[in-house]
Amino acid sequence: MSNTETPFEYLDVDAIDRLEIKTQPYQWGYISDAIPHKFMDEVLSDAPVITTRGSYPIKSFFGLPRLKFGPRFGKVVEELLSDRFREIVGKKLNMDLSKNPPCIVMMGNTTGHYNEGYAHPDSKHKIVTVLIGFTREWPYEKGRLRILRSSDRNDFEFEFAPEFGCMLMFKVSDKSWHGFLPQKGPRMSLQLCYYDCEASVRREYFRHGLSALVKSVPTLDKILSLLPKNMWGIIPSKR
């Protein structure tokens, strides 16, 4: 059996196969049960503990911080990073992603600060973005990720809560606007992206690793929280 045919332990291929790709306002698709709910307790018991805002890298470069987690959560990450899952996503979006390396980071919390969830179409170096929810429940009206028709966060086509097992994927373009209204709360989700080259992946892991390092120093973290979310420079932006 080839690597692309190895059975998944957690990802539900049949459920993902039912995911329908929409074409407006861009190519995207959503499924609520990409990981069956029966696995929630065991997977979340091994999930990283994130007490601050922003996204954190699963892998580390240059010795920068990365998330620590147990084997069952690690198995989910392994399945998401597999060639088989990349092939599934490519077929869904009618693309060949075999030459596009993956990068995966995790968000843990949101503070409700004005610059969280700002509308953006994603970096030009990203080819496809896949988001997977890991929050036990999301009882808030705000903080639901929105598929946007424009750069206005209130101009949305669809929205969903970042709850366990749900999955959103979309093809990145200059029209792939998405974001959410600020809401304070534990907001666990994985972001898997396929990039144009390995250099872009290394840069992204470095950026998030540096951000994690800055956030571990209270004074620097306070300064970072006051900067515009889409600012790029010496201090990395947070998505």
pLDDT confidence bin for 64, thresholds 50/70/90: low
pLDDT band at 226 (very low <50, low <70, confident <90, very high): low
Count of C-beta atoms within a 10 Å radius of residue 120 = 16
Q: Could you confirm whether domain 3-226 is CATH 1.10.3210.10?
A: no
pLDDT above 70: percentage of residues in the chain:
84
Residues 6+ apart with CB under 8 A from 84: 3, 4, 5, 6, 8
**Distances in whole angstroms, Cα of residue 173 to Cα of each of 31, 121, 177, 206:** 21, 7, 8, 23
- The confidence score (pLDDT) of residue 55 equals 81
Sort 162 into a burial class: Cβ within 10 Å, 0-12 / 13-18 / 19+: buried
pTM here?
Answer: 0.86
Q: Domains of the chain: which residue ranges?
A: 3-226
